[in-house]
Structure 1
Amino acid sequence: MQLQEHYNELYKKSSEIILAGKYTLDSQINDETDSRFGITLLIRPNEAIKTNIQLFLDELKAIDPSQYYYPDSDIHITVMSIISCYEGFSLDKIWVPEYVEIIRKSLLDLNEIKIEFRGVTASPSAIMIQGFPTDESLNNLRDKLRENFKKSTLEQSIDRRYAISTAHLTVVRFLEKLQNPKQLIEITDKFRDFDFGTFMVDKIELVYNDWYQRERNTLQLEYFDI
């Protein structure tokens, strides 16, 4: 399935669910006892794109400020969840340099990664910005990571939940009952084809993170210039 088709299908199904009041709330966002942690390889968009995203979020906040809106510091594309977040994971369970070595190996001969952010989509519990890599470089990197980690004996959970194939940015999670689902969908409809910007990826980060990639709970483990 083409990426645009995937985003379209997701939006159609999810907007119907939201309008029917059958959306899902995330009950753990404000749970201070949430101990789900993992390690992730990620990309952060540039400042211009984040500025455009906040313009979109400002419109949503105006009609429903009670939801969870991602701050600039937390907005990211997941390249790969190396170890998906689970309760009780901590860095003393692994030797980080071994992970860095495999990632460096996977980055060899990597072509430029350029991503266009255009339009929005949704899930039954969140709103996302649609990301479109301009070629196969990101998918090629993911395939190399899969291959190299599966050859190793290191702890990893790549593709265990699902095989990642998109380049979206999650920017809203539903925390409380939606105050006006109809208006929310009207705003997302307005931004369905909005051009949030295009950027060339210049670095990738390996981080230790919580489920929501909140800055206060994120530890930078390594930067990789590309």
Structure 2
Amino acid sequence: MENNNPNYVYDNVTQINETDTTRRFLANVFLWMFVGLGISTLAAYAFANTPALLQTLVDESTHQLTIFAYVAMFAPLAFVLLIRFGLNSISYPVLGLLFIAYAALTGISLSFILLVYTAGSVTSVFLTASLLFGVMAIAGYTTHQDLTKFGSIMIMLLIGIIIASVVNMFLHSSGMDMLISYLGVAVFVGLTAYDVQKLKRIGAGLEYGDASAKKMALMGGLTLYLDFVNLFLMLLRIFGRRR
């Protein structure tokens, strides 16, 4: 039934004004994301293909992981927490350095992927992840549907994935691992659209060029970086071919 009331409120529709400020903000967000992915890719390739660097991760005589390898695997979490909780107190240049260090350490930890999976499958999965991410980013940017409730559901599912992954570390169930991977793909595909819409809203409420806008752009870049990397890893667990 058609509603002719001019004051009718569409509760589930989000209207976001697209301004130069918003577009500049999102451009900065994606710039930080691409910088992070570029640094991680270079670090992963360098450590996987340079024997001297690889020896800093795996002891040549014992074939065990070195202390630096464990630092590279667990330190990124500390960097993410530091960036998130220090957003208002840490200066923008320092936050930028922390982000670069985080991306480098993450890339070093991801170098093991290039040792486990074939280069062809890593490349094809990366392209697939890029396509999925791009489609959902466009969907999140262009849709007028409010994705807030949808994003909350995705976050709850993500918490469930984390708990299930920890449990499966003890169960070693290949079936559960595959289920987690498929669910993870769905979650990070959904989170990509949700996060892009959320960042578009943030950009619409900021004045481009001030310190807070720059910091929020960096934080947004980190958020999308995490969405992409986790989507890539989940797809790799499903479609990656081991050496």
Normalising by structure 1, we get a TM-score of 0.28
* Structure with greater Cα Rg: 2
Bigger fraction of residues in helix: 2
